[in-house]
Structure 1
Amino acid sequence: MLKKFLLSILHLYQRFFTLIGYGSCRYYPTCSEYAKWEFENNKISSAFYHSLTRILRCNQLFDGGIDYPLLDKLSLKPKNLAVDTIKYWLVPNKKNRFYIIKNFAFKG
């Protein structure tokens, strides 16, 4: 329930700043999209920590660039494996964790 509330606040934040044309995040995906992916796929405490550290790094002291969120533990089992039914691609890294990459062909 708390996750749904936080995700709805993030959704409203994204819509509001899209309407006024404000957007200057130094990273891809944007900090709000990063936080959204974190809250959808990780525990709340982990999502808060990673989102906060990402927001603190979004300034002129850091180069920015591509920075995908990580998934701590793989426990997702899709029902249907068509390309347009998968919301995120999980790409493993060297530390037995996974990068979360959004699938833009998702139709759900």
Structure 2
Amino acid sequence: MLAAVIIGFIRLYQICVSPFLPSSCRYYPTCSEYAIQAIRKYGVLKGGWRACRRVLRCHPFAPGGYDPV
């Protein structure tokens, strides 16, 4: 239940906010899509932790590239 709510907020961000920001994620899948996949695979706590770590790794000096869950 909580996972569905959090994923809903991430989807809302993807639809309403992300299109108006410059594309800056250096990884594939994007950080928001990675967060959804991680929450579905690992649950809210562990998946959320993995998503936070991923967002912190995503910066202009990161090598980027393919980074699966």
Q: Quick check: TM above 0.5?
A: yes
Q: CA deviation at 1:22?
A: 3.2
**Structure 2, unpaired ranges of 5+:** none
**Corresponding residue for 2:66?**
66
Number of residues paired by the alignment? 68
TM-score by length of 1: 0.59
- d(CA) in 1 for partners of 2:7, 2:39: 7
**Corresponding residue for 1:45?**
45
Percent sequence identity over aligned pairs? 35
Which amino acid counterpart does residue 40 of structure 1 have in structure 2?
R
- d(CA) in 2 for partners of 1:40, 1:48: 10
Q: Answer whether contact 2:58 2:64 (CA < 8 A) is retained.
A: yes
Higher relative contact order (CA 8 A, sep 6+): 2
Task: Kindly report structure 1 stretches of 4+ aligned residues shifted beyond 3 Å.
Answer: none
TM-score by length of 2: 0.88
Is the radius of gyration larger for structure 1 or structure 2?
1
Alignment of structure 1 residues 1-108 onto 2, 5 Å:
1-16=1-16, 17-18=18-19, 20=20, 22-69=22-69
Q: CA deviation at 1:49?
A: 1.1
Q: Answer whether contact 2:3 2:43 (CA < 8 A) is retained.
A: no
Structure 1 or 2: more strand by fraction:
1
**Structure 1, unpaired ranges of 5+:** 70-108
